[in-house]
Amino acid sequence: MTHLLVQSRNDSEHEGTPQTDSLRNSSVNHALIAIAQEVAELLKTCLSSTS
């Protein structure tokens, strides 16, 4: 969705925006990976305590 919004602007407005977006996406990716790892650990803990 962000990519489509960037495309609708003219070139002078979004010069440098892709780098900013990729940095923001990178931060989001790191956060999602951290959350996924925490969830995986919690699931392992729950599964091991029930068996």
Q: 1-51, pLDDT tens digit by residue?
A: 445 545 555 555 555 555 566 777 898 999 999 999 999 999 999 998 886
Tell how far CA 9 is from the center of its chain: 23
At 22 the pLDDT is: 73
How much is the pLDDT for 40? Answer: 96
pLDDT at 19: 59
CB 6 within 8 A of CB 21: yes
Write the single-letter amino acid at 41.
E
